[in-house]
Structure 1
């Protein structure tokens, strides 16, 4: 049983992401478009899951299938029937509901019974020979903690040695926003159907989804005719934002970036931001910082132009710059406040991070020429709420930040969100190694650089987040996540800001 190992193959994921509340209508309209019933669509889900299970765990012989009372359970019945007909041992455990199940789920249940299947009570002892668990308990309609009977099965599955595949979404994970109001299945693999849901990509998703797979159930041609309200981006999208440069281009074509920050004792933050901008393709990067930082920064990175920040140098820098990045190491004292007050009067594109965000929370304003890049704690201060309130609905928090502060918002974290106007995207990159100091400073430099290279604010934020996370993933693939430094990303970043290189290698 402990020797059951999954395959490492994964299915391609779509770019479009649909809100959880749209899924019921999407399913019905899709089935109508194909001229099939919802029951037939459920059979397609069962078939897709069965094939993936056989592909991932070909040696598994005894499948334990946990079925809920809704359509997610119906998918489980469909899988069970196919497994039984293939000669596999199947133990199906179901949770009874107070109401009748949906029509198509009832049909799937009856088809299982007609095939000679047995439905076991949730309290039974699980067979010792169980070597694979299929989670079909709770689907995308969940918006609260699982009930007692469901919670007991989820807990048992999490403590069992057999691997778990979840159908559509791990039971207990909220499809709308990735929160976990109660216990949740910790799946090794998840197969989602028809459309990607936001909760699979942000919030607690990374902890519980495992390897994510997708199947359109034959609806992909129809889905491409519809415009999804959210997007998922990864490294494969970078070429759309970052075409190869013209051979005759010069440094003036690639942006003059002014980076402001680095009060006494915080030279590291501003250096990482400035160097990240250079390594992302900025033509010229000027740093205005505390006088004590000038020598060390020039010594460490002579390609930078570094000056002590003064009224004169700040005025000249703001006049010179195409783009402004302010905040890393800025501090919240008079030195930083005066700089921010000057920057506030500029109409040039800009990015605010770190202490600039803390000062913004004290004196809020709304402007459309700005990108802000808060982590959840900074977002909480900007919204005057607790950090756990931000994390309880990251999508809502990102939208609220845009409404209050304007421009483009990058809400950092596992499944970073980029919001601007009525657009929302998720950066499907990154890993736990990025939970270390300086990562946000590097991100600010990358995004600021891309703005200087004439990308619109929203596109620069999306491309910057993807390049940043993809570089970290490349580092993790080589060296693991523990002990990753923000500056380690510089060894891989060139591959992602020059996507034609990685495409050639592929």
Structure 2
């Protein structure tokens, strides 16, 4: 993979610089989610019922942008918040922008909705994860792993620390991972690459 590799700290510094120079965090989030959506729309020529698993931070915001764009292209979209309803400011702004056609469900409804889903998108943690996965999230990922769905991760399969120092048991298993702007050190580890599947880089610049 001929892509740049930046640590999580280097990526954060790059984003901070872009924000100071006029490309806002909100615009970068819009580019991340909308360009991932555009790639999915090219891959699948008919609408796919998509379940987006959201955390509460900016990775969830990327997922909510993705949800909005897919929904506007007449894809059925369902969102499940795995860390409660208190979202980061940018994520909350994108939740408020969702079309009314987007369904939001609670964790106990996962088994009811999974049989009708074609794609599952992991927008829970991104690169900032540390420690072990909460049991409820690990159980959710396990159910998804056993379902006949196409699995996508945004930036990093949840459960993997971006710099590669930790890989939690039960980390999300993707078939396609969209990395934003650069690879992170974890993407270069063989056992993490197996969790990522195909890796596609999304440019965040205008």
Structure 1 residue 173, shift from structure 2 partner: 1.5
State the number of aligned residues: 203
Q: 1:206 to 1:89 in 2, by over 3 A?
A: same
- 1:190 corresponds in structure 2 to 177
Structure 1 residue 64, shift from structure 2 partner: 1.2
CA contact (8 A) 1:189 1:210 kept: yes
CA distance in 2, matches of 1:27, 1:87: 32
Larger radius of gyration: 1
Gaps in structure 2 of 5+ consecutive residues? none
Cα displacement string for residues 165-201 of structure 1 (whole angstroms, at most 9, x for unaligned residues): 1111111122111642221111111001022100011
Match of 2:97 among 86, 108, 111: 111
TM-score (ref. length: structure 2): 0.90
CA contact (8 A) 2:114 2:147 kept: no
CA contact (8 A) 2:18 2:24 kept: no
* Large movers: runs of 4+ above 3 Å: none
Structure 1 residue 60, shift from structure 2 partner: 4.7
Cα displacement string for residues 374-397 of structure 1 (whole angstroms, at most 9, x for unaligned residues): xxxxxxxxxxxxxxxxxxxxxxxx
1:156-305 superposed matches below 5 A? 156-177=143-164, 179-218=166-205
CA distance in 1, matches of 2:165, 2:175: 17
Structure 1 residue 147, shift from structure 2 partner: 1.4
- 1:30 corresponds in structure 2 to 18
Higher RCO, 1 or 2 (CA under 8 Å, sep at least 6)?
2
- 1:17 corresponds in structure 2 to 5
Gaps in structure 1 of 5+ consecutive residues? 1-11, 220-506
Structure 1 residue 163, shift from structure 2 partner: 1.1
CA distance in 2, matches of 1:50, 1:13: 23
CA contact (8 A) 1:21 1:176 kept: no
SS in 2 for 1:76: helix
1:97-108 superposed matches below 5 A? 97=84, 100-108=86-94
Structure 1 residue 59, shift from structure 2 partner: 3.5
TM-score (ref. length: structure 1): 0.38
Q: 1:28 to 1:101 in 2, by over 3 A?
A: farther
CA distance in 1, matches of 2:47, 2:188: 28
Structure 1 residue 63, shift from structure 2 partner: 1.0
CA contact (8 A) 1:49 1:191 kept: yes
Cα displacement string for residues 287-333 of structure 1 (whole angstroms, at most 9, x for unaligned residues): xxxxxxxxxxxxxxxxxxxxxxxxxxxxxxxxxxxxxxxxxxxxxxx
CA distance in 2, matches of 1:189, 1:146: 21
CA contact (8 A) 2:60 2:123 kept: yes
CA contact (8 A) 1:179 1:204 kept: no
- 2:29 corresponds in structure 1 to 42
Structure 1 residue 145, shift from structure 2 partner: 1.3
